[in-house]
Protein backbone atom coordinates (compact mmCIF):
# COMPACT_ATOMS: atom_id res chain seq x y z
CA UNK A 1 0.00 0.00 0.00
CA UNK A 2 1.38 3.45 -0.91
CA UNK A 3 2.06 6.33 1.52
CA UNK A 4 -1.05 8.33 0.55
CA UNK A 5 -3.35 5.33 1.18
CA UNK A 6 -1.82 4.72 4.60
CA UNK A 7 -2.11 8.44 5.47
CA UNK A 8 -5.79 8.47 4.46
CA UNK A 9 -6.55 5.40 6.59
CA UNK A 10 -4.69 7.04 9.48
CA UNK A 11 -6.87 10.15 9.02
CA UNK A 12 -9.97 7.92 8.76
CA UNK A 13 -9.23 6.03 11.99
CA UNK A 14 -8.18 9.19 13.91
CA UNK A 15 -11.43 10.89 12.90
CA UNK A 16 -13.54 7.83 13.69
CA UNK A 17 -12.06 7.31 17.17
CA UNK A 18 -12.87 10.90 18.21
CA UNK A 19 -16.19 10.83 16.34
CA UNK A 20 -17.62 7.69 17.97
CA UNK A 21 -16.15 8.50 21.40
CA UNK A 22 -17.61 12.00 21.37
CA UNK A 23 -21.04 11.03 20.03
CA UNK A 24 -21.24 8.52 22.91
CA UNK A 25 -20.44 11.42 25.25
CA UNK A 26 -23.26 13.43 23.62
CA UNK A 27 -25.65 10.52 24.33
CA UNK A 28 -24.37 10.26 27.94
CA UNK A 29 -25.01 14.00 28.52
CA UNK A 30 -28.49 13.89 26.93
CA UNK A 31 -29.52 10.97 29.18
CA UNK A 32 -28.22 12.53 32.47
CA UNK A 33 -31.66 12.61 34.13
CA UNK A 34 -30.60 14.64 37.19
CA UNK A 35 -29.66 17.73 35.09
CA UNK A 36 -32.07 20.34 33.67
CA UNK A 37 -33.00 19.32 30.07
CA UNK A 38 -32.01 22.67 28.51
CA UNK A 39 -28.57 22.64 30.19
CA UNK A 40 -28.07 19.03 29.05
CA UNK A 41 -29.00 20.07 25.52
CA UNK A 42 -26.55 22.99 25.53
CA UNK A 43 -23.66 20.86 26.83
CA UNK A 44 -24.47 17.99 24.47
CA UNK A 45 -24.68 20.40 21.52
CA UNK A 46 -21.28 21.84 22.41
CA UNK A 47 -19.62 18.39 22.39
CA UNK A 48 -21.51 17.53 19.19
CA UNK A 49 -20.52 20.73 17.33
CA UNK A 50 -16.91 21.00 18.52
CA UNK A 51 -15.94 17.32 18.49
CA UNK A 52 -18.41 14.95 16.83
CA UNK A 53 -19.12 16.91 13.63
CA UNK A 54 -15.50 17.90 12.75
CA UNK A 55 -14.24 14.39 13.63
CA UNK A 56 -16.99 12.83 11.51
CA UNK A 57 -16.02 15.05 8.54
CA UNK A 58 -12.34 14.06 8.96
CA UNK A 59 -13.17 10.34 9.16
CA UNK A 60 -15.62 10.55 6.26
CA UNK A 61 -13.23 12.46 3.97
CA UNK A 62 -10.32 10.09 4.80
CA UNK A 63 -12.40 6.92 4.24
CA UNK A 64 -14.09 8.21 1.08
CA UNK A 65 -10.80 9.43 -0.44
CA UNK A 66 -9.18 6.05 0.29
CA UNK A 67 -12.14 4.27 -1.33
CA UNK A 68 -11.98 6.52 -4.40
CA UNK A 69 -8.28 5.72 -4.93
CA UNK A 70 -9.26 2.07 -5.57
CA UNK A 71 -13.02 1.87 -6.26
CA UNK A 72 -12.67 -1.33 -8.30
CA UNK A 73 -10.83 -3.15 -5.52
CA UNK A 74 -13.37 -2.15 -2.84
CA UNK A 75 -16.64 -2.24 -4.79
CA UNK A 76 -16.14 -4.88 -7.49
CA UNK A 77 -13.45 -7.33 -6.36
CA UNK A 78 -14.17 -7.41 -2.60
CA UNK A 79 -17.82 -7.33 -1.64
CA UNK A 80 -17.29 -6.78 2.10
CA UNK A 81 -17.15 -3.01 1.44
CA UNK A 82 -20.89 -3.01 0.62
CA UNK A 83 -21.68 -4.35 4.09
CA UNK A 84 -19.27 -1.90 5.64
CA UNK A 85 -20.88 1.05 3.84
CA UNK A 86 -24.33 -0.05 5.00
CA UNK A 87 -22.94 -0.13 8.55
CA UNK A 88 -21.39 3.34 8.03
CA UNK A 89 -24.72 4.79 6.82
CA UNK A 90 -26.45 3.40 9.92
CA UNK A 91 -23.83 4.97 12.21
CA UNK A 92 -24.09 8.30 10.34
CA UNK A 93 -27.88 8.14 10.75
CA UNK A 94 -27.62 7.56 14.52
CA UNK A 95 -25.11 10.44 14.73
CA UNK A 96 -27.63 12.80 13.10
CA UNK A 97 -30.59 11.68 15.20
CA UNK A 98 -28.59 12.06 18.46
CA UNK A 99 -27.35 15.51 17.32
CA UNK A 100 -30.90 16.58 16.43
CA UNK A 101 -32.08 15.57 19.91
CA UNK A 102 -29.30 17.69 21.47
CA UNK A 103 -30.47 20.69 19.38
CA UNK A 104 -34.12 20.21 20.40
CA UNK A 105 -33.23 19.98 24.10
CA UNK A 106 -31.02 23.09 23.83
CA UNK A 107 -33.84 25.05 22.13
CA UNK A 108 -36.34 23.81 24.70
CA UNK A 109 -38.68 22.25 22.13
CA UNK A 110 -38.45 18.82 23.85
CA UNK A 111 -37.60 17.84 27.43
CA UNK A 112 -37.08 14.08 27.20
CA UNK A 113 -34.10 12.13 25.87
CA UNK A 114 -36.27 10.00 23.52
CA UNK A 115 -34.49 6.90 22.12
CA UNK A 116 -30.99 8.30 22.84
CA UNK A 117 -30.06 5.60 25.41
CA UNK A 118 -30.77 2.73 23.00
CA UNK A 119 -29.03 4.54 20.11
CA UNK A 120 -25.96 5.13 22.29
CA UNK A 121 -25.92 1.45 23.27
CA UNK A 122 -26.11 0.38 19.60
CA UNK A 123 -23.23 2.74 18.76
CA UNK A 124 -21.08 1.45 21.63
CA UNK A 125 -21.63 -2.19 20.59
CA UNK A 126 -20.94 -1.27 16.93
CA UNK A 127 -17.62 0.37 17.91
CA UNK A 128 -16.53 -2.83 19.68
CA UNK A 129 -17.56 -4.97 16.69
CA UNK A 130 -15.75 -2.61 14.24
CA UNK A 131 -12.57 -2.82 16.34
CA UNK A 132 -12.87 -6.64 16.35
CA UNK A 133 -12.96 -6.77 12.53
CA UNK A 134 -9.98 -4.39 12.27
CA UNK A 135 -7.81 -6.15 14.87
CA UNK A 136 -8.53 -9.69 13.68
CA UNK A 137 -8.31 -8.62 10.00
CA UNK A 138 -11.70 -10.09 9.10
CA UNK A 139 -12.66 -10.54 6.33
CA UNK A 140 -9.15 -11.29 5.09
C1 LIG B 1 -18.24 7.05 5.59
C2 LIG B 1 -18.15 5.86 5.12
C3 LIG B 1 -16.87 5.09 5.17
C4 LIG B 1 -16.02 4.86 4.12
C5 LIG B 1 -16.17 5.34 2.68
C6 LIG B 1 -14.93 4.06 4.65
C7 LIG B 1 -13.86 3.60 3.88
C8 LIG B 1 -12.80 2.87 4.37
C9 LIG B 1 -11.71 2.34 3.57
C10 LIG B 1 -11.58 2.50 2.05
C11 LIG B 1 -10.85 1.69 4.41
C12 LIG B 1 -9.57 0.94 4.02
C13 LIG B 1 -9.87 -0.54 4.05
C14 LIG B 1 -8.70 -1.44 3.71
O15 LIG B 1 -8.06 -1.22 2.68
O16 LIG B 1 -8.44 -2.37 4.49
C17 LIG B 1 -11.39 1.80 5.75
C18 LIG B 1 -10.80 1.25 6.88
C19 LIG B 1 -11.38 1.25 8.15
N20 LIG B 1 -12.59 1.81 8.51
FE21 LIG B 1 -13.85 2.83 7.27
N22 LIG B 1 -15.13 3.82 6.00
C23 LIG B 1 -16.31 4.43 6.37
C24 LIG B 1 -16.89 4.43 7.64
C25 LIG B 1 -16.36 3.79 8.76
C26 LIG B 1 -17.00 3.71 10.06
C27 LIG B 1 -18.37 4.29 10.40
C28 LIG B 1 -16.16 3.00 10.87
C29 LIG B 1 -16.31 2.62 12.32
C30 LIG B 1 -16.83 3.40 13.21
C31 LIG B 1 -15.00 2.64 10.10
C32 LIG B 1 -13.91 1.94 10.59
C33 LIG B 1 -12.81 1.56 9.85
C34 LIG B 1 -11.69 0.80 10.37
C35 LIG B 1 -11.53 0.32 11.81
C36 LIG B 1 -10.80 0.60 9.29
C37 LIG B 1 -9.45 -0.14 9.32
C38 LIG B 1 -9.64 -1.52 8.79
C39 LIG B 1 -8.33 -2.25 8.64
O40 LIG B 1 -7.35 -1.65 8.24
O41 LIG B 1 -8.33 -3.44 8.94
N42 LIG B 1 -15.15 3.13 8.82
N43 LIG B 1 -12.57 2.51 5.70
pTM of the model: 0.94
φ/ψ of residue 36, rounded to 5: -50, 130
The residue to mutate among 14, 56, 84, 131, having the most atoms of ligand 1 within 8 angstroms of its beta carbon, is 84
- Residue 54 pLDDT > 80, yes or no? yes
pLDDT value, residue 67: 97
| Domains of the chain: total | 1
Q: Answer whether residue 119 is part of any domain.
A: yes
pLDDT value, residue 139: 87
Q: Answer whether residue 40 is part of any domain.
A: yes
C-alpha 31 – ligand 1 centre gap (Å)? 29
121-133 pLDDT tens trace: 999 999 999 999 9
Helical H runs in the chain?
Answer: 3-30, 37-47, 53-69, 71-72, 80-107, 116-135
Q: Answer whether residue 140 is part of any domain.
A: no
Which class for 116: exposed (0-12), middle (13-18), buried (19 or more C-beta within 10 A)? buried
Q: Identify the domain containing residue 94 by its residue range.
A: 3-135
Q: Answer whether residue 62 is part of any domain.
A: yes
- At 70, the pLDDT band (50, 70, 90 cuts) reads very high
Q: Answer whether residue 50 is part of any domain.
A: yes
- At 25, the pLDDT band (50, 70, 90 cuts) reads very high
Amino acid sequence: MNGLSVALIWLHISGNVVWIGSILAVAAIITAKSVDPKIRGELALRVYSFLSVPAFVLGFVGGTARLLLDPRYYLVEHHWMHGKLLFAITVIGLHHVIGARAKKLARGTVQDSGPTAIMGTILAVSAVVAAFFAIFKLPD
